[in-house]
A and B are shown apart, each in its own frame.
Chain A
């Protein structure tokens, strides 16, 4: 496959992490229309009511959906027709982030090299990543023996070793209980500060938006209703729907 761009997130201000240029997609009755630039090096929360298109937006960026029209660019590179695995990004889903039959080391190793050709240095990095997310010594464990929170930590560890400039998170904490969510949010902030990667976080939780996001994209029925920094998001009065969302945090 194509060579993975190895640059870390030192993208300049004018090179957006994600650029959606006239992206259009019809799924069932809903017509999605996305335009905009997601800045590099920041945490952008994508939020909105159920069915507004949060996951669709993420899937378009990740490559799980092909737009009917328009272009998707990552760090200036047109990836519209690129297979998900060939895009310079990492993903963490709400669940099913790990192959159930493989141990954590192998699961994370697959993120480094898809055919598992690992160097000694890679192995050290995998163990270090596990340690960083609080799973030191868990290399040989199978996902089935872990708690939900531990499985998400393992997924973060994999994102860490992949060193991609963009990290997409699809409701990564939704399946966890509230106490655990706070701890995981802290972990995510920490990782963001260490790597400087651009992060796009899909969430329906206003609290998470307030806690984590630098920027906010608010979707409604397949369109971007608001896109701006978090303070502007909290202060806006044009959309009562958004005000209500902010007030519920």
Chain B
């Protein structure tokens, strides 16, 4: 790990003191993000090295569990937050984030950003995206569903693990996908799909764990998931199913905090996230698609990924307005006897 810390186990109090590496004369940019971004295998370490080469500053990551925790943390800290930039909110959280009033307009040129479905916002800058997809085990599933309809109406003995929209963003993604395709008929679709659902887990990790353990042959994940298995585990056993109707997308964004005292540096960082240097790091560390041009073409494994014919994305305002009602609808459809 890149960060240097010294743990002082003062008596039994175990009070730890963390000293981020910093030189006194350089400005420090603090970026709040989620944990897997800063993990040793994540983009964090490389991003830090690349940005510090150009900025004559120190880039300091503070990471929390996930995007939702990131927003909660910002709400709790309010205007006294140390964050200059928040990186890792997704499109479904954007509206809520905007409503906190903590973010400022980024004021940078985002023309480089190329995201399916198009995302352009005065406050938030997209840095990567991923289409949701049903990932299946080719050893068990010989004829994967070719559409959401086939998934809903298929053989109930072939099970899928999905995430709970009450506690996870992929779960919410599936909810919105079904809503986008089925509209008012979504409850009926859920009632039918219910027979295929082995279980509904609180988060992505639990569902994917069940999947890789062989307990369930399908899982709700990302189009990019197979790339990880190909590149890191040298296996093409796990594949994403291409759905005819199209795929719902998750776009990850970053934003500038109003209260920052390093506005220029923060803007410089946001612009950097759209540069090829940053974008080239993303695919094989964050296992998401780059939101702008990379230095080299993407690795072969990415070329073989499913490319959706159509992208679903609801506006953040619409999601924010309807989330509670749709979740209630989902609960009713899933709990009916």
A–B touching in complex (CB under 8 Å): no
* Interface of B toward A, CB cutoff 8 Å: none
